[in-house]
Amino acid sequence: MTTAIINVSLKAGVLDSQGKAVHHALDSLHFKGVSDVRVGKQIVLKLDTDDKTAAMAEVEKMCEEILANTVIEDYKIELI
Amino acid sequence: MKVTILQFPGTNCEYDTQHAFEKLGATTEIVWHKAESLPADTNLLVVAGGFSYGDYLRSGAIAKFSPVMKAVTEYANKGGKVLGICNGFQVLTEAGLLPGALKRNDGLHFISKHHTLKVENSDNIFLEKLNNGDIVNIPIAHHDGNYFIDQDGLKELYANNQVLLTYSDKDGSIKNPNGSVDSIAGVCNKNKNVFGLMPHPERAMESILGSDDGVKMLEGFLAS
């Protein structure tokens, strides 16, 4: 069994309106010293394989084809 | 003139679209997303608005893998005319038939109201009944209507006259409701046979309901 944790977020340079709103909220709650906020989403997959190399290749393909829209989003994959 | 209208689980503008095109004299057929081919006599394919697959993952992201989309891509690549309205626009960008992507509105709110649009390029079948600079009043209803394309892509859009419509005020100055790059409301592909826009021309067919400016837009397809 392999677990893939995928974080999808808007690319650097693409305005993240949700991040901006959260930043504003943190600021109004007096949490100071936050210079930027980015909001993304996490997708967790349970995979049947133990082969991490094969799993990584497969999950990358999933990200490119559907899990992320690479026009506006980046993804990071962690396998455990 | 035969207009084929796609229906996914969650599509909710297919009957408005059907009504609009039938009012203009076209025959129509609504096709369920499980179909593997399109009616052979299709002259225009419309991907109607709504919330296909509940907008899960991203708007339009799951619809692009519906069985019918293979036929849609083939139809478009052969030069067939395709129009994506609202969620249909999102589906066409996700499917790679139109450039760019639609993000969450900058204000994070769902926006539902009439909005004036400026015609940027009418040298295409969709807007040929209008002139550059014309202002039309068309309803918008979206949460993810914030059009994004990178700078290189944007340059290419301008170079090929692919920017169709922008959000404006009634005098034609920029008025941007959702944060779209350059206030863009609608674009087409390079070959000018695939069109996408967030506003709903099919909801602007009767002046008694606020506007009939949609007639001039949709009529372009019937004339060609």
Each residue's pLDDT tens digit, B38-51: 999 999 999 999 99
Q: At what angle do helices B213-223 and B14-23 cross, to 10 degrees?
A: 70
Mean pLDDT score of chain B, rounded to an integer?
A: 97
Residue from B24, B31, B32, B8 nearest B86 by CA? B8
Q: What is the mean pLDDT of residues A10-14?
A: 93
A53 Cα to chain B: minimum distance (Å): 26
Query: Do the Cβ atoms of A17 and B149 come within 8 Å?
Result: no
Helix (H, G, I), strand (E, B) or coil at B109: coil
pLDDT digits (tens, 9 = 90+) for B190-212: 999 999 999 999 999 999 999 99
> Above 80 in pLDDT, residue B134?
yes
Query: Do the Cβ atoms of A67 and B57 come within 8 Å?
Result: yes
Residue B224's pLDDT is: 59
Mean pLDDT score of chain A, rounded to an integer?
A: 96
Catalytic residue numbers of B read 86, 200, 202
| Residue B108 touches chain A, beta carbons under 8 Å | yes
Q: What is the mean pLDDT of residues B98-107?
A: 97
Residue A14's pLDDT is: 93
Q: Which residue of B has its CA nearest to A70?
A: B101
Q: What is the mean pLDDT of residues A5-31?
A: 95
What letter represents residue B62's amino acid? I
pLDDT digits (tens, 9 = 90+) for A24-74: 999 999 999 999 999 999 999 999 999 999 999 999 999 999 999 999 999
- Domain enclosing residue B124, as ranges: 2-223
> Above 80 in pLDDT, residue B92?
yes
Residue B223's pLDDT is: 75
> Above 70 in pLDDT, residue B173?
yes
Query: Do the Cβ atoms of A17 and B57 come within 8 Å?
Result: no
Q: Which residue of A has its CA nearest to B106?
A: A17
Q: What is the mean pLDDT of residues B181-188?
A: 98
* Contact status, residue B140 vs residue B112, Cβ threshold 8 Å: yes
Query: Considering its fold, how many domains does chain B have in total?
Result: 1
pTM of the model: 0.94
**CA separation for the pair B89, B97 (Å, rounded):** 10
What letter represents residue A74's amino acid? D
- Percent composition of chain A: helix, strand, coil (DSSP 3-state, to 5): 35, 30, 35
ipTM of the complex: 0.87
The pLDDT confidence band at residue B151, using thresholds 50, 70 and 90, is very high
**Residues of A near B (CB-CB distance < 8 A)?**
10, 14-15, 17-18, 21, 66-67, 69, 71-72
pLDDT digits (tens, 9 = 90+) for B209-220: 999 999 999 999
Write the CATH number for B187: 3.40.50.880
Query: Do the Cβ atoms of A17 and B93 come within 8 Å?
Result: no
Query: Considering its fold, how many domains does chain A have in total?
Result: 1
Q: What is the mean pLDDT of residues B149-159?
A: 97
Give B54-57's long-range contacts (Cβ < 8 A, gap of 24+).
Answer: B54/B10, B55/B10, B55/B87, B55/B143, B55/B144, B57/A66, B57/A67
> Above 70 in pLDDT, residue B169?
yes
Residue B107's pLDDT is: 94
- Domain enclosing residue A73, as ranges: 2-79
Write the CATH number for A56: 3.30.1280.10
